[in-house]
Structure formats: C-alpha cells, structure tokens
Structure 1
Amino acid sequence: MGRREREAVARAARLYEAGRSLADDHGRAVEAVRAALRPIQDAAVERALDAIPVARLQDATGGRLRLGSVDRSGLRTVRQVLDAGPYRLRQIPGVGERTADQIVAAARQLSDAVHETVAVHIDVDHPDPRTTALVMALQVLVEAGPEARRAVDTAAALTKRLGPLLDDARPAAGRLSMLTAGQARKARALEAVGQIRTLVDGAVRDGTPEALAQASVDLLRGTSTDLAAWADFELRSAEYYGLLAEISGPAPNTAAAEGFLPDGIAERVRGQQLDDSRLRVSLRGYQAFGARFALAQRRVILGDEMGLGKTVQALAALTHLAAEGQSHFVVVCPASVLVNWTREIEARTSLHVTPLHGPDRHDAFAYWQGRGGVAVTTFDALRGFPVPGGGEIGMLVVDEAHAVKNPKALRSQAVAQWAGHCGRVLFMTGTPMENRVAEFRNLVRLLDQAVADRIGDQAALPGSVAFRKAVAPVYLRRNQVDVLAELPALQQTDEWEEPSASDEEAYREAVCSGNFMAMRRAGYARPEKSAKLVRLREIVHEAGENGLKVVVFSNFRDVLGVVRDALDAGPRTGGPVIGPLTGSVPPERRQLLVDEFTAVPGTAVLLAQIQAAGVGLNIQAASVVIICEPQIKPTVEQQAVARAHRMGQVRPVRVHRLLAPGGVDERMVQMLKRKARLFDAYARRSEVAEATPDAVDVSDTELARRIVAEEQTRLGFTPSDPGSGSGSGTLGVASGARADDLSATEPAEAVDGRFSPSGTSGRPPA
C-alpha cells in the first residue's frame, strides 16, 4: 500500500467532510426557518381553534359527550377548553374526571388536525417582527437557489456511499495500520480504495467539490436587511412559499397532487426519473410530477388550473430531454405570449431559445435547425414551416392547446401534422373544453386515437367518472385549492347596479334592433349617465386609496375607451392608466405594457381586452380585477381572473363583475352557471355519475339569438322576420364596434358587423 492509495483516501475524506459540512449548514438554515415559523403557526392554530365551537368535540367522540354544561360555564370554543385543562373542567357541575379527560383528549385531537392543515399566509402589507424573521430566514435558502439544493442532494448521496468505503479503507491510511491488518481486512481495504478512487475522480470531473463549497458559502452568507428580504419576497413569493411548504407546510394531498390518476399510471409516473440539472428554478412536488407525467406518458394534455405553473413543468420536461441528448424542441403558442415564453426559457433554463416570428422567421428557422435548442413560434407561423421527419423533434409543446380543438381549422391541421411526426407531444391548457365534450375528444385524438375512441361518440356521452378514467393515460389536471395552500383569498363580488334612465333607453334601443353586442354594452353607451361607470370609478378610487393596482377587463375596445376617458376626467387617487391592451397591440408590446404596469410603484390601472390579456400573461401585480360585462364562456372570465390570482400573488384578490339586473347581464350570468357544470363534471375530478342533459350545449350564436328574442318579448317588441335583416335573426354589432371586438368569445357568425339570418354561416370581408 503506497502513497497513491493514501492520497486517494485523504481526498475522499476531505470530500466526505465537505459533504457533511454542507449538510450541517443546510440543516441550520432549515431549522432557522422552522424556528421562525413556529410562533406564527401556533398563533394561526390558536385563531382556528378559537373559531371552533365546543359542540364540534362531539364529532371526535361519536356524539358520546354531553357538553351543554361546559358551554354554559363559559367555555365556548375548543381553544378555551384546552386552556382550561382537566382541572377546571372537573369543577363544572356534572363533569367528572373521566368526562373531563375525554373532553380534553377530543380537543387535543382537533388541535392536532388543525396543526396538520393550517396554512401560514405572509402579509406583505402588514409586516411584523415574527413574519420579518420568517422571510429573512427563508431568503437564505431562496438566495442559495436550486444549485444549493442540488448540491445538498449530491452531498447526501456522496457521503452515504463514501462513509462505508472510508471505514473499509481505514487501514490504507497509514503504513502501520496496513501492516497489522489481517489478510481479509487488507483485501477489503484495497477494494474500497479502488472504489473510492473511481468515485472521487468522477466527482472531480463533475465539479462536485466546487459546488459543495459554493453552496456552503451561499448558505452562510445570510441576509442584508429586513427591507431587502421583504422586497425580494414580493418579487419571488412563489419560491418562498414553495420552500415553506416543503420544509414544514401541511402534508400534501398526494392523490390531488397526482391528479387522482389511477394507481397503475401514477406508479409508472413516480418511477420516471427527472434530471433538472439544466433547470434554474426549483420545482414543487406536484410540478415535478407533472413533468414526469409528460415524460412517462409521452403524448399528453397537462390541464392544470391556471396559475399552477404549467410553463415550468413543460420546461422541466424539455431540460430533462436535453440532458439525455435531445437537441431540438418546438413550442407553439398564441402570438400574445411568444415573448413571455422566450423570457421564461432564457430565465429558467440553460437552453438556447430562438423565436420564429415576424418577417425573418424563415431565416430564424434555418438558424434553429443548425443551432438547436427551443424554437418558439405561433399557430399561424407554424403552417409555413416544413413538417419535420420522425425523431427530429425531442418534444412538441402546444400552449393554450384548446385553440386547436376544431379539426377543420387550419391551425389545428398544422398542429396535427407536426404532432403526427413527433414522438413526444405536450398540450397545455387550463380550459380543454368549452361547450362540448366532443371538443376535448378532438384534442385527445391528436395524441392517442385509441383513447379518443374509448371516450365514446357524441350521441352517447359517458358519465364524468368514466370519462376521467378513459382519458387518464393522456390527461392530468390539478386544481389550485388542492395544491396551493398559501394562495391568497379570492373574493368575487357581483356588483348589481340599477341602470339609470339613460342606460335603460340605450338598452331598449339595442333590444329593439336585435343587436346583441349593443345590448351587452348598453351600460356604457351614454357615459355621462352610466351607473356601471359610477361604480367602476368608486372601486378604482378605493383601490387607489389603499395603494392597490387594478386591471379592468372588457371584451369591447370602445368600452375600454369609455372607461379610460371616465378615469382621466374624474377625480381618483394617483397612479397612471395604462393601455388599453387589445388584440391589435403587437405581442411584444403587450408584454411591455404589463411590465410597465408592474413597475409602477403603488397604484395603477391596466385596461385590457379580456381575450388579449386573459391568456398567457401574468398580471399578478394587480390585486383588484374589474370585469365590465359578463362573458359568453365561463372559462374566459376564469382565465382573466387567473392572470392575477395565481402562484406568486401575495395579496388577496378582489374581483368585481359589473352587472345590470333584469336584462342581458342577468340572463348571461344564469347561462354561465349552466355552462360551467360541463367543465366541472368532465375536466375536473367529479363524483357525477352520468352526464346531465345539458352536457351538450347549444352554440353561442343560438344562445345569443335566444336571449335577444326573450328580451324583445319581455320589453314588448315584436321580433322581426329572421330573414328581414332586423330583430332576432340579425344579432348585429353596434356600428362603433372594432373588428377585433369580435373575439373568440363571441358567436362565430358575424358578417360585416351583423349576423347571418337563420343561423347560416357567413364570412367577414377580406
């Protein structure tokens, strides 16, 4: 045994100690978070127990306790019972020692349950010493980043392997030890030294010693000031909450985090390895599962509710494939989010990204073919690129995939061609269907014909439970309430405003002409007397008084113009009015408007067309959302709200929907409730056994015709003949409407501002 062996053992010992030291440093950082969290969590538990009446103790004992005398004694909540303890309980007439012990045991059982489920919310607007200490402790781990987490994992694996080998190799550390060791001991030592040398050489090639040292430095650096920690928390709250949940949050609902998949599929997904070495952010547990699902099942729909980070799950799948040697990937998305995708890839991964958009897109395509990386393009641009051969694309990602649910559309056909030549395809959509289950089946057919066939035909829809089971191999969905315990409260308020006489007059004129679009925005047709505008200005003023940012959504450009004029003309509390962000604004400019809105210190108002800004953009700087009129599809409103109420939001979100009673608004609200049932039964987990009769909905155009006809009857107008060019057969658009007001939320049969009679389809002029 010579010098080389002794040096190998010494190198391994230094690496082992570096790993142990990093584990200690990380452990101290984690314990600092737990120590800071404990008093906050205890206070939250006490508040929760203070809200639970004594009568609830019956639930924990199967109704065996008699608690009337306890309540009459003044002990009315579970917390008061715990504070009193068995001694005081025994002083209550009719409560003996055994009963007192049972009451306390039941109270402790409830207390333990609350401890396991209570979620801590960090109030960025009202910091106190306890929450400041928690944020500062968390910042150490957030600043250290995913590289430190990977280094800790590497250190754990390395020390686990090196520990036993160093024990076996101990005789090789000195000449005398080797001379006095027995033959078997020497043989084990020599074998251990060989394994140590291989292990250490590999670690050195991978840069492990440097990674361990850097991680220890980052964990020991500490925070600068409490103000810096709070500022960082507001910018990266999702990362802070993710760490908090991982360290000591409530135990996750595994079934919910795994989308309630059947056991066999869930087990297969859990067994899928995930290499995140090229990812620059940490994943939450449910996000890692989503990436594994895409990898294990190969051709899937990720249908997570908006705000859960579908983009980062897609990026995790791409970086895993890149680490395995795949070189070319394609992301197809709406033009409005192309810039956001490009930024996300650059910021969150080490992958090269090439946008394929604009007049130079074909040159960019050729560059990407040679350079590799991720090509990001739009649905329309995709049609102009040659379809790849099999095996050329590591993964095709289609964002907002519900846009290709119509197989007759050119964009759908282009995606179908590309998907047919790609072994791995990931469709991403929080709204996989709107009106018909058949639409969802069309998406599934692009991925797996056999699964689509199992769903059943349109004439005999399966029940939702059977539906979910049938699509499980290709479909994964999780909801915010199941996996984001820290999400701030969402308060939705329907603001029913009695229309003014001027509003009523404008509405009657719109109904008389059978003009559905004019009916929807009659509340803004005469701004000087608009009841909705009065309430909107009040909400904006109140938000300004509290330093909150507001986003105002409408489907109509002219309504946004009226809102801007009203806000500019009247008194309000500070802050600029930004926008409107409409469908005619170029995609690059849309993101810049959102950035401008986010960068404003304090209050600001962003005006946005609901389709243009309701998809893909993150507007979580806003905590007040105003929707000027109800939309035809429930998911349009849900998407818009989810732009603000999503992972990373640090304030409660208040949503105000402005409505006028008795007319089109009230009818549309009722319609939205009915249409939402289909999505809840089929796209979410549901216990509904059979499809409801309205699972196959009538078209949006037919609904609009029905509403116009009913309103004309209610107001005493006689609907004109459908073919005469007026009345219920011509659900026209007010003459002031812009072309991009006729968005995907509206009936599809508009022709030159009018609707074709009797439901016949028309085409807008070129």
Structure 2
Amino acid sequence: MAPPSAGEVRQLLRRAGRLGGDARGLIAEYGKAVADVRSALEPVRERQARAELGAIPVSRLKDVTGGGLRLTALEEAGYSTVLSVLDATPYELQKLPGVGPKTRWQAQSAAQQIARAARESGTVHIDVERQDAETTRLLVALHGLVAAGPELSRARRTAQALEQRLKALVPDARSLGRWWRRLLTGGKRRARAEQAVERIAELLAEETETRLLLAQATTDLLRPPPDATQAWIDFELHSADYYNLLAELSALAPLDRAAAEGFLPDDLAERVRRQELDDTRRRVSLRGYQAFGARFAIVQQRVILGDEMGLGKTIQAIAVLAHLHARGTTHSLVVCPASTLINWVREIEARSTLGAFRLHGDRRDLARSAWLERGGIAVTTFDGLHRLAPSPQVGMLVVDEAHYVKNPEARRSRAVAGWCDQVARVLFMTGTPLENRVEEFRSLVGYLQPDLRPKVAAGAQAFRRAVAPVYLRRNQEDVLTELPGLVHVDEWEEFSTADADAYREAVESSRFMAMRRAAYAVPEKSAKLERLRELVDEAAVTGLKVVVFSYFRDVLASVADSLGPSIHGPISGDLAPERRQHVVDAFTEAPGHAVLLAQIQAGGVGLNLQAASIVIICEPQVKPTLESQAVARAHRMGQVRRVQVHRLLTPDSVDERMLRILHAKTVLFDTYARRSDLAESTPDAIDISDQSLAHQIIQEEQQRLAGGPAHGR
C-alpha cells in the first residue's frame, strides 16, 4: 500500500488539529469547573474545621506535645478549647500569669498542628437544614459537574489521552506534510514520521464518535449555573453523586485506607490495588472503597462482598460485570429475591451499557432466548434458578442476599451450588453473612472455596484471617463519613390495662407470637399505638417522611386504621415485585410528609428508602439483622437528613427479654463478621435458635407472672 501523499497528510493533520482542539477545550472547561468547586469548598471546610476545633478540649494539646505542656494557667484564664488557643494572639497568651514564651509557643504550635489535621482530614457535611450562602455556592459549583453525568469521566480521560498522543505524534508527522520536507527528511526520521501518520490515522478512525463525546461533555459544562433553590433540590435528589464527586476530586480527605480495604492482609490488598478496572461499559463513578471492592472480586474471582447495608454493593457488582463484559465476557447471571429483581434490572440499565433480561414472569422464556442470543445480564429469582441449567456461556454469577442459601439442604441452595460448580467467577453479596450460627457463614464460604472451609477455625481472629481471601466487609462508620447522624431511641411504654390483659392471656396459653404483638391487640387502647401516632404527628409538622416496620401484618393493619387512608403500603411478602416498587416510588415522590408501612422481613430487603428520615419499629425482632437491614434501607448512601430510629418497647415483657438475647447475637456477628478485634469465643457459647429463644422466654414470663423466680440468661 502506497504511503499517503503530502496533501493527504495535511488533511489528516487538520482533522487531528480539530480533534485536539476539542480535547483541549474540554480539559480547560473541566479545569475551570474543578477550580470553582475547590474555591467554594475552602470556606465550608474552614468553617466546619473551626466548629470541630471548638469542640476539642484544650487538654488535647498535651497529646501533641507528648504530655509535657502545662495548661493550668490557660484553663484558669478561660481557654477551654483548642480553637480558643488558636484564635488568641501571642500577646494575649503570654501576658497570662504562669505562661512564658516557651509555653505560649508550644500551646499555639500544638493548636496549629491540630487545626491542620482537622482541615485536611475533616469530612464535609452538607446539611439540608442549614442552607447558608457558603454551602449554596459549593452546591452550585458542583452542580455543573454532577449534571454532566457519568459520561464526563470517560470524555475527560479520552481528551487527556488524545492530547498526550497527538502532542507526541503531530510534530513527527509534519515532516511528511510538504514535498520539500520529505526530501530533507532522513531515513530514520522518515520511518518515524510514517509511523506517526499511521498512529494518527488510527486515532481518527472513530473521529465522529469521539468528537461527539467531547462536544457533549463540553456543552454540559458550559450550561448556565442553577439558582440556589434548584441546586438544593438537586442535591436532595442526587446527594450520593455530589459526595462521590467530592471524593473523586480529592476534595475530601482520603479515608483510612485499611478500613476502606476491609483490613485485608497487606499482600492481598496490594494485588487488588494493582488490578485495572475497565469502565468503558460502566455509567457511574465509584467511591474509592467501591472501586477496591470491584477489584477484589475481579482478582479473587470467587468472593463474598459483605459490606454493611447502604454502601452500594449493587454498584460494585455492576462495576465488576461491566469490566468483565468490556474484556470479552458475553453472558452473566444475577440471582436475587423476587423483591429486588426490578431494582436490579433498573440499576443495570441505568449504571451500565449492558443489556438486562428479566427471567421472571410470563415472558421469562422469551427473555431467556433473547439473553442467550444477544448476551448481557440475565436476572432471575432464587425460585426461578432451578429452571435454568448451568451454562458454560455464563462468565459470572452474582448472588444477591446470599444468606438466603445458608442452608445447604434447601432447593435454592442446591441450585446455587450447581451453578457455582460450573461458573468460574462468583460474587456473593450479603450484608448479613450470618444470623444465628457461624456455621452458616462457613456454608457460604464452602460454595466458593471448598478447600478453604475446613480450615476455618472457631476463634474469631483466626476465623477472620482464614476467610480474608474470600470475604470483604466494610462498615458505614469507616467509609461513609459524610452520612448524617443515626439516632436510636428506645420508646418504653407501659402496658395499658387492655394490653396487659391480652399479654397475660398470651403468656398463659404459651403463644409466643401473640405475646410479641399483645400491645396492639386492642388498638383503641394500645399504649404503643398512641406513641406511634405521636411520633407520626411530630414528623408531619416538620414535613418528614416515616417508614413503620413490624413483623406482623395485623399490627400494620392496626397502624393503618389508626393513621388513616393517606398511608402508603403496606409492603408485605406476597406483594408482587412490580407493585412493591410502585409503592416505594409513590412514597418517595410524595411531596413533604408521608408514611410507608412495611413488614420488616419484606421491606428490610432490597428497597431504597432514603426518602424516609424517621424509622419506627413496632416490636423487637428475633434476629438483630432484621432490624439493622431495615434501618439501613433509610440510613444509606443518598440520605441527606439525620435518621431517627424509634423502637417501641414495653418493660417487664417479652420485649425486654428479647433485647437481652438480641444483644448476645449482635456480639456474635461483630466478633466473626465485622472487622473489630474482639476477644475470641466459640460460636456455640452464645448461639440461640429461634425455637429455644421462644421457649425460654415463655417459661420466664410464666414464672414472673405467677410470682415465681424468673432466671434470665
């Protein structure tokens, strides 16, 4: 093939110049937008750092100076916080009796050191209840970048890569753009020039698509800024995107790396960090800990992602799927509860360019045929999985709420095990990898790494070391530091006379479930229900949304009758997935105050309820994970308000006895499945099955009501 003529080379260079100009234009506009964000961020960060310093006692200065600083004179003079010392002039401090030049210098140096740390590591909290001018300016600056959407990151990387490549190639290629330059170009230089022309032609092969990508991103960045009201409304709707962007720009200080990486061994963590993550088929930016989680699943291939509720496990799974499909995988399968199936399909379609096929309902056979023919992500339920024969075409299996297959003898567990045997890459997702027995966790590990299961020791520390290659967990408190506060309030309400009569009858007849809901047996005289109405009325005054959880349908029916016809739900186990999502959407989109009712075993799984900032739990649950899952549906990434959790309880009743045992179960979970280094203990020491729990409580309550001794455990 003949080399291009001088005219063809000049035409190629003109096209490259236009493409390079587009790239430089996007880089410049992005740089301006980032500079605006950082400029707006500084006063917000400074204000929040000063508030933090104002809460730090002056005694903390000793920690910085090794304990040798004498602070008595400062404290006696009213300098009680680090901020007060920081703001004082040298003259003001040194004129105090007992404060010499050395003490003054040490105190202020220590205060400045703490102040620097506060500014560098402090997390920016955006409070929707405090819409001041400084924070508004920050949101307006962020809005342009958020509104540009997930394609901005890809466009920016494309622009940077283009600029670097063209900057290196164009000077060499110019020597072939004029006939006289060709004559003066030596052999080696001519070969380099021909190679540069060839590389430029390759870059221009998708010129139209690339220019469109760059032009759209640049246009998005040039949109006029929103007004203050629009900026705050958009933040409430997309707060996770705003915080993700702050993290991506390194505007927020880096989190504790060890916590963000699940406290994995150093050698494993380093291998995970080195893993490249292809985002060409992904349409969402990741937090640092989310990118690490996706890389962990790619490197280790068969893993349990056990992140606490609300940390974006679905996003991480989609990032893994997008990476694999960008690198050649054609088919993947997601297995989930029916209640989360619609959400999975929505998230795949919104967060990636992958096709999602719903293998459920009347059209599942057509969807299965389309998936097998076209490739993409099939989504099915646990009950539907046994209808699918394991296929070698499937490159990855994702199992959501994997604790559903903790019992190896169940049909759905056997179906999942069969697929695990045939698929090389498997991702189990669960925020509750064990509930009552550590053996359940061992079962999950056994599906993925059969050789690892026998090595799992009983002691907590040994257990966590053994499962590190297969298990990654991060907690909200470690990685989502911008989340607003979570306030737990135990609402203790004495039985009314009617409640007490119903409770005594349930105890005498040994009906455990009747004991648990006796406080609602006579709704018009229920003390708990009266308190629930008060809490809902308070939320209505402030325009806050409320979600009410109970294990029992009849309790929710009583709540519905008490609150009137304006409530949403209830969400129950037999509600069709489509209807369930419709109820949640209506609740979320309702203006101002609204109330959603949900069975805790149904509403606590697979739903995003961050529109709610008040959570009411009608009675304690047998499994602590039921409550934590339910709360995490509201207190999760995207929540912009402080979440208040009100648990309705009755003293001297089944409630009080259950709480004691729930605490023991929570300790078991923390010991084995969280990262905290608690004392080692054997799982059998505090394992209590549901049946034995009920029997124990009934006996204790019968003895108490009969006037005999009630021995607690």
Normalised to the residue count of structure 2, the TM-score between the two structures is 0.95
Whole-Å Cα distance in 2 between the matches of residues 632 and 79 of structure 1?
A: 47
For 1:30-69, what per-residue CA distance to the aligned partner results, in whole angstroms no more than 9, with x for missing partners?
Answer: 1111111111111111111111121111111011111111
Partner of 1:119: 123
Correspondence list, 1:553-568, <5 A? 553-568=549-564
Partner of residue 465 from structure 1, selected from 446, 461, 468: 461
Partner of 1:581: 571
Partner of 2:199: 198
For 1:100-152, what per-residue CA distance to the aligned partner results, in whole angstroms no more than 9, with x for missing partners?
Answer: 11111100111011112222222224322222211111110011122111111
Deviation at 1:369, TM superposition (A): 2.1
C-alpha change, 1:95 and 1:718, in structure 2 (3 Å) is closer
Query: One-letter code of the match for 1:652?
Result: R
Partner of 2:512: 516
Partner of 1:304: 307
Whole-Å Cα distance in 2 between the matches of residues 17 and 172 of structure 1?
A: 21
Query: One-letter code of the match for 1:214?
Result: Q
CA contact (8 A) 1:117 1:250 kept: yes
CA contact (8 A) 2:491 2:649 kept: yes
Deviation at 1:81, TM superposition (A): 1.1
CA contact (8 A) 2:437 2:683 kept: no
Partner of 1:759: none
Partner of 1:243: 245
Query: One-letter code of the match for 2:144?
Result: V
Correspondence list, 1:327-342, <5 A? 327-342=330-345
Partner of residue 506 from structure 1, selected from 498, 502, 505: 502
CA contact (8 A) 2:503 2:518 kept: yes
CA contact (8 A) 1:464 1:686 kept: no
Whole-Å Cα distance in 1 between the matches of residues 234 and 667 of structure 2?
A: 40
CA contact (8 A) 2:7 2:177 kept: no
Correspondence list, 1:504-653, <5 A? 504-568=500-564, 576-653=566-643
CA contact (8 A) 2:332 2:378 kept: yes
**Bigger mean CA deviation after superposition, 121-130 or 148-157:** 121-130
SS in 2 for 1:514: coil
Whole-Å Cα distance in 2 between the matches of residues 685 and 203 of structure 1?
A: 50
CA contact (8 A) 1:431 1:635 kept: yes
CA contact (8 A) 1:50 1:78 kept: yes
Whole-Å Cα distance in 2 between the matches of residues 712 and 129 of structure 1?
A: 62
CA contact (8 A) 1:8 1:193 kept: no
Deviation at 1:454, TM superposition (A): 1.4
Partner of 1:678: 668
Correspondence list, 1:3-82, <5 A? 3-82=7-86
Whole-Å Cα distance in 2 between the matches of residues 15 and 633 of structure 1?
A: 60
Partner of 1:712: 702
Query: One-letter code of the match for 1:501?
Result: T
Whole-Å Cα distance in 2 between the matches of residues 452 and 159 of structure 1?
A: 51
Q: Please provide the CA RMSD for this pair.
A: 2.0
CA contact (8 A) 1:162 1:196 kept: no
Partner of residue 688 from structure 1, selected from 678, 696, 705: 678
Partner of 1:369: 372
For 1:669-701, what per-residue CA distance to the aligned partner results, in whole angstroms no more than 9, with x for missing partners?
Answer: 111111001111111112125225655502111
For 1:708-735, what per-residue CA distance to the aligned partner results, in whole angstroms no more than 9, with x for missing partners?
Answer: 111111111899xxxxxxxxxxxxxxxx
Partner of 1:221: 223
C-alpha change, 1:692 and 1:92, in structure 2 (3 Å) is farther
Deviation at 1:315, TM superposition (A): 0.9
C-alpha change, 1:87 and 1:698, in structure 2 (3 Å) is same
1:320 aligns with 2:323: yes
Partner of 1:475: 471
1:279 aligns with 2:282: yes
For 1:463-493, what per-residue CA distance to the aligned partner results, in whole angstroms no more than 9, with x for missing partners?
Answer: 2222112111111111111111211110011
Partner of residue 139 from structure 2, selected from 135, 138, 145: 135
Partner of residue 99 from structure 1, selected from 100, 103, 106: 103
Whole-Å Cα distance in 2 between the matches of residues 179 and 46 of structure 1?
A: 69
Aligned residues: 703
Deviation at 1:515, TM superposition (A): 0.7
Partner of 1:406: 407
Query: One-letter code of the match for 1:468?
Result: R
Q: Which runs of 5+ in 2 are unaligned?
A: none
Whole-Å Cα distance in 2 between the matches of residues 99 and 189 of structure 1?
A: 72
Partner of 1:757: none
CA contact (8 A) 2:671 2:680 kept: no
Partner of 1:231: 233
CA contact (8 A) 1:332 1:397 kept: yes
Whole-Å Cα distance in 2 between the matches of residues 385 and 556 of structure 1?
A: 34
**Bigger mean CA deviation after superposition, 252-261 or 484-493:** 252-261
Partner of residue 658 from structure 2, selected from 659, 668, 677: 668
Whole-Å Cα distance in 1 between the matches of residues 226 and 16 of structure 2?
A: 35
CA contact (8 A) 1:304 1:429 kept: yes
C-alpha change, 1:204 and 1:101, in structure 2 (3 Å) is farther
Deviation at 1:516, TM superposition (A): 0.5
Whole-Å Cα distance in 1 between the matches of residues 214 and 105 of structure 2?
A: 52
SS in 2 for 1:698: coil
CA contact (8 A) 1:527 1:533 kept: yes
Whole-Å Cα distance in 2 between the matches of residues 162 and 300 of structure 1?
A: 42
1:164 aligns with 2:165: no
Deviation at 1:173, TM superposition (A): 5.8
For 1:714-764, what per-residue CA distance to the aligned partner results, in whole angstroms no more than 9, with x for missing partners?
Answer: 111899xxxxxxxxxxxxxxxxxxxxxxxxxxxxxxxxxxxxxxxxxxxxx
Whole-Å Cα distance in 2 between the matches of residues 406 and 318 of structure 1?
A: 27
For 1:218-259, what per-residue CA distance to the aligned partner results, in whole angstroms no more than 9, with x for missing partners?
Answer: 112233433222222111110011111222012122211111
Whole-Å Cα distance in 2 between the matches of residues 559 and 360 of structure 1?
A: 36
Query: One-letter code of the match for 1:295?
Result: I
Normalised to the residue count of structure 1, the TM-score between the two structures is 0.88
Query: One-letter code of the match for 2:330?
Result: S
Correspondence list, 1:697-736, <5 A? 697-716=687-706
C-alpha change, 1:194 and 1:10, in structure 2 (3 Å) is farther
SS in 2 for 1:275: coil
Whole-Å Cα distance in 2 between the matches of residues 473 and 415 of structure 1?
A: 21
Query: One-letter code of the match for 1:392?
Result: Q
Partner of 2:212: 210
Deviation at 1:506, TM superposition (A): 1.3
Whole-Å Cα distance in 2 between the matches of residues 715 and 305 of structure 1?
A: 40
Whole-Å Cα distance in 1 between the matches of residues 172 and 72 of structure 2?
A: 69
Whole-Å Cα distance in 1 between the matches of residues 401 and 537 of structure 2?
A: 35
Whole-Å Cα distance in 2 between the matches of residues 337 and 349 of structure 1?
A: 18
CA contact (8 A) 2:657 2:697 kept: yes
Correspondence list, 1:182-197, <5 A? 183=186, 187-188=188-189, 190-192=191-193, 194-197=195-198
CA contact (8 A) 2:456 2:463 kept: yes
Deviation at 1:342, TM superposition (A): 1.4
| Identical columns (%) | 57
Query: One-letter code of the match for 2:629?
Result: Q
Deviation at 1:169, TM superposition (A): 4.8
For 1:195-231, what per-residue CA distance to the aligned partner results, in whole angstroms no more than 9, with x for missing partners?
Answer: 3531453354263233222222211223343322222
SS in 2 for 1:145: coil
C-alpha change, 1:4 and 1:49, in structure 2 (3 Å) is same
Whole-Å Cα distance in 2 between the matches of residues 42 and 626 of structure 1?
A: 36
C-alpha change, 1:251 and 1:519, in structure 2 (3 Å) is same
Whole-Å Cα distance in 2 between the matches of residues 664 and 7 of structure 1?
A: 83
CA contact (8 A) 2:358 2:378 kept: yes
Partner of 2:424: 423
SS in 2 for 1:450: coil
SS in 1 for 2:394: coil
Partner of 1:492: 488
Q: Which runs of 5+ in 1 are unaligned?
A: 569-574, 720-766
Whole-Å Cα distance in 2 between the matches of residues 617 and 693 of structure 1?
A: 31
